């Protein structure tokens, strides 16, 4: 019987980025069991002369959630030979810059005496964990006030020319190019296209994010029997429970239903971790997707299927499509939270709308939904999946409607009319579920919050805000506090 190879690597893993992920992925590919030593706060301070931005407990949780990692241990000493005596690893994985250090040349000889060795990996070009730098920021301008205003208006930054602080590069969801999408005109076309997209993925270790709605239900119907389907259940008296309807879909297609409870404490614990990865405050639904993703990773899932882009492409945003808006009406209607209501120094971000202006006072609101709204909506899922080391696929993002939306049908109550037809094809015995409001009970979770205390905000500014708007302000203040910790580190 072949001996199991035990691998070991260490790091601070502060402000986790793709370079860290690459090291861990390469390490796991070269051993059977990967142990990761995460440096404690105290050791990090001793080695680097500053405290990490993210506390040890949270950094360890991020690393532990990755599918490449079998075990996480606290790294309290820089003595790798002592670690070998404690863990008995066969191979130590290090970044390539350690190869030329005299200490590691001697250490290689010591390890060789015990039958172990060092495997060196190159660092990911342009990636560094120091000061939030997840990629080179080029000529980006630091403009905290504009970033704050953009985030409140659109729930993400979007503008590639600005950043919150030096080295803080926000990562926005990238839309799959329209030129590469499969064109469809009917429910039958969509059926064919979804099958083709899913055929490109190894479904043996795939899970699906399943809600009570028809978009994810349709996708679930194409997955192999026994596939795990994950539904979030927010824990609060006012929360909408989607698990009963989702379970019906699972029963009809032989899927294993997994319910993941999500609490306000889960939101709070994950906000800083996700903001570090995003380089910006979180998208409100992000922690919920993250909790699902962590469970999936723990279950051995490698790829998650989800159905977010159907609303953007097939006319699911019925309220936004309810009339032909003037430019000014659209700006007022779409802006999630006008920065003037909460910030002392708001910045005008109406320039984001200008490329979609039509004539003197019209606007191409359909194009705006597909290009601007879809980024924030997609990020609510993909950021959380990436944080857990999962690959992800939204099959609807690989499909495009090759005909104008039939606004008359949508305004008559048939939102996503083609998907309604497809749902009836896939679930002939069920009623088509109507669109549900967000299951996240933000009003209840934040009913006792008195509002931000930082000087950037207007005192008492949350008094007249909805729960979802309060959550946005709460997330923004937490991110600003995180930046302050970075400056003090």
Q: Among all residues, which ones are annotated catalytic?
A: 48, 50
Contact, 381 vs 290, CB < 8 A? no
Contact 14, 59 (CB under 8 A): yes
HEC string for 281-332: CCCCCHHHHHHHHHHHHHCCCCEEECCCCHHHHHCCCCCCCCCCCEHHHHHH
SS3 390: coil
- CB distance 209 to 290 below 8 Å: no
Angle, helices 80-87/102-113, rounded to nearest 10 degrees: 20
> Regarding beta strands 206-209 and 362-363, do their DSSP bridges make them parallel or antiparallel, or are they unpaired?
unpaired
Q: Is 373 in contact with 321 (CB distance < 8 Å)?
A: no
- Cα 248 to Cα 241: distance, rounded to the nearest angstrom: 13
Q: Are 222 and 396 in contact (CB under 8 A)?
A: no
| C-alpha to C-alpha distance for 422 and 139, rounded to whole angstroms | 47
Would you state the structure tokens that stand for residue 107, as one six-digit string?
A: 């250490």
Q: CA–CA distance from 317 to each of 237, 240, 419, 437 (Å)? A: 27, 19, 13, 12
Separation between Cα atoms, residue 301 and residue 305, nearest integer Å: 11
What distance in Å separates the CA atoms of residue 118 and residue 93, rounded to the nearest whole number? Answer: 6
How far apart, in whole angstroms, are the C-alpha atoms of residue 17 and residue 168? 12
Q: State both tokens at 404.
A: 């104008």
At 268, which helix (H) or strand (E)?
Answer: helix 264-278
CA distance 481 to 487: 10
Strands 391-393 and 399-401, sheet pairing: unpaired
Region label for 88, one of left (φ > 0), alpha (ψ between -120 and 50) or beta (otherwise): left
Token pair in block for residue 32: 């059977």
Angle between helix 264-278 and helix 467-488 axes, rounded to 10 deg: 50
Residue 380: its H or E element: helix 374-387
Say if residues 287 and 262 touch (Cβ distance below 8 Å). Answer: yes
């Amino acid at each position: 019987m072949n001996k199991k190879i035990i691998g070991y690597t260490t790091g601070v893993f502060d402000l986790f980025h793709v370079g860290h992920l690459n090291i861990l992925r390469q390490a796991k590919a070269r051993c059977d069991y990967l142990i990761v030593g995460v440096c404690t706060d105290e050791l990090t301070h001793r080695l680097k002369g500053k405290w990490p931005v993210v506390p040890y407990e949270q950094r360890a949780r991020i690393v532990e959630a990755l599918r490449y990692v079998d075990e996480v241990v606290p790294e309290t000493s820089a003595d790798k030979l002592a670690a070998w005596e404690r863990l008995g690893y066969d191979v130590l994985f290090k970044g390539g810059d350690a190869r030329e250090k005299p200490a590691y040349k001697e250490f290689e000889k010591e390890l060789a005496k015990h039958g172990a060795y060092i495997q060196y990996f190159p660092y990911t070009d342009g990636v560094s964990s120091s000061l939030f730098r997840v990629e080179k920021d080029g000529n980006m301008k630091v403009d905290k006030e504009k970033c704050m205003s953009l985030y409140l208006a659109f729930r993400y930054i979007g503008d590639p020319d600005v950043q919150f602080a030096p080295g803080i590069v926000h990562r926005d969801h990238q839309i799959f190019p329209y030129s590469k999408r499969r064109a469809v005109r009917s429910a039958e076309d969509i059926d064919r296209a979804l099958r083709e997209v899913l055929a490109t993925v190894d479904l043996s270790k795939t899970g699906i994010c399943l809600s009570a709605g028809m978009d994810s239900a349709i996708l679930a119907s194409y997955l192999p029997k026994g596939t795990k389907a994950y539904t979030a259940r927010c824990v609060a008296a006012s929360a909408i429970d989607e698990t009963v309807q989702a379970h019906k879909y699972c029963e009809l297609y032989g899927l294993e239903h997994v319910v993941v409870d999500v609490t306000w404490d889960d939101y709070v614990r994950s906000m800083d971790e996700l903001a570090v990865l995003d380089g910006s405050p979180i998208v409100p639904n992000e922690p919920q997707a993250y909790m699902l993703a962590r469970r999936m990773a723990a279950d051995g899932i490698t790829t998650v299927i989800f159905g977010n882009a159907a609303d953007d492409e097939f006319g699911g945003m019925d309220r936004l499509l309810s009339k032909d808006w003037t430019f000014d009406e659209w700006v007022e209607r779409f802006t999630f939270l006008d920065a003037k209501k909460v910030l002392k120094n708001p910045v005008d971000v109406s320039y984001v709308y200008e490329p979609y202006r039509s004539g003197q006072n019209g606007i191409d609101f359909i194009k705006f939904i597909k290009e601007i709204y879809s980024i924030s909506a997609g990020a609510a899922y993909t950021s959380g999946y990436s944080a857990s080391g999962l690959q992800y696929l939204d099959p609807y993002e690989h499909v495009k409607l090759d005909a104008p939306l039939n606004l008359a049908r949508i305004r008559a109550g048939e939102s996503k009319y083609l998907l309604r037809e497809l749902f009836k094809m896939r679930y002939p015995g069920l009623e088509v579920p109507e669109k549900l409001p967000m299951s996240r009970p933000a009003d209840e979770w934040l009913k006792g919050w008195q509002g931000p205390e930082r000087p950037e905000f207007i005192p008492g500014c949350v008094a007249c805000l909805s729960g979802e708007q309060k959550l946005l302000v709460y997330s923004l203040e937490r991110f600003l506090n995180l930046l302050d910790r970075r400056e003090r580190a």
